[in-house]
Structure 1
Amino acid sequence: MSIVKFLTSKTFFKHLAIAFGIVVVLVFVLLKFLDIKTNHGEEIPVPDLSKMQVKIAQEKLEELGLELILLDTVDFRNDMPPYSIVEQDPKAENTVKNGRKIYVKVNAGEYDDVTLPALKGKTFRQVSANIKSLGLKEGKITYKPHLAKDEVLAVTQKGKTLKAGDKVKKNSTLDFVLGDGKEFYDEQTFDKEETTIETPVEDAGE
């Protein structure tokens, strides 16, 4: 049988119809499989993971068919428990498909250390701006007789005198001892009131 006759024969069209039917069935089965695999049409509400420890959040997501991915640790926030989740993406109540990754950031365990710069000998105005930029707080201010007014004479924390290079926790409070600008006058007063102590002279007869 020639090719032309075969292509126009009933046998060819019969085989073609069978082949077409097989393709349709295979496509239908494949689409059904993909629907089941991806839970087509089924979406899962993302739970609120805020303030949860990573392990607990991970278990909760796994129960829902979701995956937790830890991105980073953020600077310590005192309004959140240490090592708890502070940010998540997607946000809570968004709907996602099964197997979706939920990205989170975790609170640090405590405040970071800050290296104390040279503060002694500077004016309090200079120092105030400096410590605020470092995330530190101003505490108690006391004055001591000194020639220069508001010059920083000492920096302390909980009674301990600090120096340049010491480490303190971010967000901690520093106390300051400042000059009162009155030492010059106090010295004048002291000079006026100064008395001379004479050494007793021994009697010549003794």
Structure 2
Amino acid sequence: MSFKKFLFSFTFFKNLFIALIIVVLFLVAFVKFLDFSTNHGEEITVPNLSKMKLEVAEEKLDDEGLEVFLLDTVDFRPEFPPYSIVEQDPIAGSKVKDGRKIYVKLNAGGFAMVTFPDLKDKTFRQATNTLRALGLVEGELKYVPNIAKDIVLEVSCNGKPVKAGDKLMKNSKIDFVLGDGKDLFKEEELDSLNMDQQEIEKDTTH
């Protein structure tokens, strides 16, 4: 039988059909094997990584078939341990596919240092607005006699005077000494001044 006749023979088409079936079965089996070996299609519950060190989270996610990716370090939050995870995306409890990256942010190792501003002779409202912008906290208030009400006369931290340019840790408490807005003269001194004024007026009328 010539080759041309063989190409159009029943035997050729039968063998071709059998070969195609074998190829299809092999591909189906191969895909099934991949699905089985990679857990394709299965969803994984994202664990809660809050307050974990990055190394611990990496081990935990690796066991789950997930990856961790560090995005950034945020300002220190005292409710979290230093260098622990404070945020994650996707959040805990989410359903994800195998191999998904979990993006995390770490807590700083401590409060950052800030430069203390010049608050002397500013109003208490101005001073507190400045402190809050720097991450500092108002502490105790003490009023002393001064004609200017709520004017900052002195500032201190942990009992020590603080001046402009000093370095303080964020979240430090700043204590204030403020003017009470009352006259500096005592009542007796005012009475004496009034009497002197009356004597002057009498002398000028005579």
Deviations along 1:45-102, one digit per CA (max 9) or x if unpaired, are: 2221212222222222222232222222122222222222121222222233333322
Tell me how far apart the structure 2 counterparts of residues 181 and 100 of structure 1 sit (CA, whole Å).
Answer: 64
Report whether the alignment pairs 1:35 with 2:35. Answer: yes
Tell me how far apart the structure 2 counterparts of residues 144 and 66 of structure 1 sit (CA, whole Å).
Answer: 62
Partner of 1:65: 65
Q: Give the deviation of 1:35 after TM superposition.
A: 0.4
Query: Bigger shift: 101-110 or 144-153?
Result: 144-153
Q: Which amino acid aligns with 1:63?
A: D
Q: List, as ranges, runs of 4+ consecutive aligned residues in structure 1 with deviation greater than 4 Å.
A: none
Partner of 2:169: 169
**Contact 2:40–2:98 under 8 Å retained in 1:** no
Identity across aligned pairs (percent)? 58
Structure number with the higher helix fraction is 2
Q: Give the deviation of 1:184 after TM superposition.
A: 4.7
1:177 is paired with a residue whose SS is strand
TM-score by length of 2: 0.78
Q: Which amino acid aligns with 1:29?
A: A
Report whether the alignment pairs 1:118 with 2:118. Answer: yes
Tell me how far apart the structure 1 counterparts of residues 149 and 43 of structure 2 sit (CA, whole Å).
Answer: 68
The alignment of Structure 1 onto Structure 2 pairs a total of residues equal to 190
Report whether the alignment pairs 1:74 with 2:74. Answer: yes
TM-score by length of 1: 0.78
Q: Which amino acid aligns with 1:180?
A: D
Q: Which runs of 5+ in 2 are unaligned?
A: 194-206
Tell me how far apart the structure 1 counterparts of residues 12 and 164 of structure 2 sit (CA, whole Å).
Answer: 94
Partner of 2:10: 10
Deviations along 1:126-146, one digit per CA (max 9) or x if unpaired, are: 112222232222111123343
Q: Which runs of 5+ in 1 are unaligned?
A: 194-206
